[in-house]
Amino acid sequence: MAEPLPTGSADLTRRGFLNVAAIAAAGAASTAGGFMLRGVRGGATEATAEAPSSQSLHGAKLGIQRVVWSVETDEPLVALTFDDGPDPDLTPQILDILDRYDLQATFFVMGFNAERHRDLVTAAHSRGHEIGNHTWMHDDLTAQETDEAHESIALGDDAVLSAIGARPRYFRPPQGKVSNAALRYAGEHHNDVVLWSLSRGVRDVGRPQEVADHVLGKIGPGEILLLHDGVGREDLRGRSAEPGPRRARRDVEVRALPAIIERTLDRGLRPVRLSELLAAERQTR
């Protein structure tokens, strides 16, 4: 079993994210992969590990890429992202909602779903939404050997390429679990690794108002919001007669989405694609 990245005393996992301070302290685990690692905006700990413009790792040249939770920006922007799709029930609803408000988002698709529902990937892309990679089958990369992890990410890349004619620029590891193997692959393929700074928050199925209230209680410029248009591994072998609890959670998120969008806009914030938020990053160096 592959070793996950080390953890340390400055634990950011309470927000569901990678412990960037521990990675920076690990040295080789971070800089050997050619990554610029950034802390959570407003978090208790922030650390940076930066490599030269390229490094040699077992003969491979790796460019500097980023692991991003949120963005320091002076612009009133938040990134709207969706994981685990596409799904024939959830994704069309979300696309219609986004059309209603003339908004574009970033969809991190599972390769298995993207292959089964290629028309939904192409539909999202044709409407101006970004498509990112979420592995082939929502795999726990920290539980895989290096070759297995690389294959999982590569198959996800291939599924996106097949659907839209281009490889994804962004990669999001399922459950935010990142291994050294995943970082190495991302470095070799010039992918930014994108996590999140805000999610639905409500642990059980909840109600749309609860989810919207949680998001709106925390959202601000530079946040990366994680929502879902799929159910991960819950129904990879086909839709069951009785929807599972995860699907019920996803249905609540979709029902909460209009209120999240409207109240975000009312605050003067605009949900955008990930690339637009990253382009608005405040230059601090």
Sorted by where each starts, the structural domains of the chain and their CATH numbers stand as 68-279 (3.20.20.370)
Report residue 246's pLDDT band, with 50, 70 and 90 as the boundaries.
Answer: confident
Higher pLDDT, 140 or 241: 140
Contacts 24+ apart (CB under 8 A), 94-99: 94/229, 94/254, 94/257, 95/123, 95/124, 95/127, 95/129, 97/254, 97/257, 97/258, 97/261, 98/127, 98/129, 99/127
For residues 26-54, average pLDDT: 33
pTM attached to this predicted model = 0.80
pLDDT at 66 over 90: no
For residues 7-20, average pLDDT: 31
Higher pLDDT, 71 or 17: 71
CA distances from 113 to 123, 143, 196, 245, 285 (A): 14, 21, 22, 19, 41
DSSP β-bridge partners for residue 81: 106, 226
117, 138, 214, 228: the catalytic one is: 228
Higher pLDDT, 115 or 32: 115
For residues 196-201, average pLDDT: 95
- 83 assigned to active site: yes
Question: Which of these ranges, 35-49, 72-86, 114-128, 255-269, has the smallest mean pLDDT?
Answer: 35-49
83, 87, 157, 229: the catalytic one is: 83
What percent of the chain has a predicted confidence (pLDDT) above 70? 73
Report residue 65's pLDDT band, with 50, 70 and 90 as the boundaries.
Answer: confident
